[in-house]
Structure 1
Amino acid sequence: MVGLEDEWHYRRHMADCGCGPTEIETKAQQRALWLALVLNAVMFFVEVASGLYADSTSLVADGLDMLTDASVYAVALMAIGRSNAFKARAATLSGALLLIVGIGVVLEAVRRAFVGAEPVGVLMIMVALVALAVNTYVLRLLQRQRSDEVHMRAAWIFTRADVVANVAVIVSGAAVLLTGVIYFDLLVGAAIGLFVMREAMEILREARQAGR
């Protein structure tokens, strides 16, 4: 029976020789990424629409993060079966998109701190719970396909960040509901933006290393 260490050495050998993933691995990656893309695209519309209706910065931020994830999965799909250099460029594009979204979210939180907002805590919690269930499923799906290939690693990192963001939105929704203080929503929205920026830098760093 092949152990985890043997499998790791096999994957490293395949990457070093330029052989790439097997056809079965490629198809499994494609199925996982297509499903993740569709789920994230749907949740983007749900969260942004709900966030605008609930006047919630953190919920809108989480929705925009879903859109970025859908873009990342699309880029990862294009990278499957391509050269390591192409995969590194795809991961770089993913990281750059994530960085832009993170900066935009932080700026939006700052703007709302000045113009004001009235977030609806109950709706924030309900929608964020649905998003958490979706992202947990996608994370487990991608975990089975996670490999040394940088484009798949980037997709997994994005989803991991989403799970953390979903939990943060739920907590902020509960805080707003219990206290009526809008700054919980603004702080969590800004924190999601900063966290997204941190994940983007991690992807960009790995892409640089993979491209060498």
Structure 2
Amino acid sequence: MRERQRGTLQIVLAINAVMFFVIAGAALYGESTSLLADSLDNLGDALTYALSLYAVSRDATVKAKVALFKGLLIALASATVIAQIIYKLYVPSLPIFEVMGVFSLLGLTANGLCLFLLWRHRHEDVNMSSVWECSRNDIASNLSVFIAAGAVWLTGSGWPDMVVAIGLVLLLIRSSVRVISAAFKELRQ
């Protein structure tokens, strides 16, 4: 089981590391806060998968500590997006909806593959459960950014991008709380 987990984690780590750089570049070029949130989620996932690789062959306490750290990383990503949202309130810009749309679909494809690969591991332990949680959030993020791109196009306004970014922050915070709670529960046992 550990070898299967390790192999899956190596693949999803590579996918998320590449997607972070691709989507972060697109977010900066396209001036999209929601796409930036999506890219930071990919970075958090890549770090999470790297930590999960470390934890695969460790005992339950180490796995719980790694899951706790992952939860804190997710919280840090949400704080970064909150800072970007505040910045955009003071320095508004119109994101490029074509960039948002294309790269959200590219991210959806990559994250769909990750979710498919992680499916069989989602209930194996707290480590893999937290990895599954991160990957599931990615699908929602990608779909939300795609919808925001359409709304930016329809309205000619940057507000849909901001609204989706706020929604993604709430999703990240919820995920962070769930992962941290599960880690603390595991540590108490």
TM-score scaled by length of structure 2: 0.97
Q: Check if 1:68 corresponds to 2:20.
A: no
Aligned CA RMSD, in angstroms, stands at 0.8
Could you tell me how far apart the structure 2 residues matched to 1:46 and 1:190 are?
22
Q: Which runs of 5+ in 1 are unaligned?
A: 1-24
Which of 59, 72, 76 is the matching residue for 1:96? 72
Q: Please name the residue that 1:48 is paired with.
A: 24
Indicate if the aligned counterparts of 1:103 and 1:197 stay in contact, CA closer than 8 A: no
- Long gaps (5+) in structure 2: none
Aligned to 1:185: 161
In the alignment of these two chains, the number of paired residues is 188
Find the counterpart in structure 1 of residue 108 from structure 2.
Answer: 132
Q: Which has the larger radius of gyration?
A: 1
Q: How far does residue 123 in structure 1 lie from its aligned partner after superposition?
A: 1.1
The residue type equivalent to 2:83 in the other structure is L
Give 1:198's match in structure 2, choosing from 144, 169, 174.
174
**Following superposition of structure 1 onto structure 2, how do residues 167-186 of structure 1 map, counting pairs within 5 Å?**
167-186=143-162
> Which piece of structure 1 moves more, 42-51 or 146-155?
146-155
| 2:84 corresponds to 1:118 | no
Name the % identity.
Answer: 34
The aligned counterpart of 1:12 is none
Separation in 2 of the partners of 1:179 and 1:142? 37
Q: Is the 8 A contact 2:107 2:142 kept in 1?
A: yes
2:131 paired residue among 143, 150, 155: 155
SS, match of residue 103 in structure 1: helix
Structure 1 residue 134: deviation in Å? Answer: 0.7
Report what 1:15 is aligned to: none
AA paired with 2:168? I
Does the CA contact (< 8 Å) of 1:103 and 1:194 recur in 2?
no
What whole-Å deviation, never above 9, does each CA across 1:12-48 have from its counterpart, x for those lacking one?
A: xxxxxxxxxxxxx111101110000000000000111
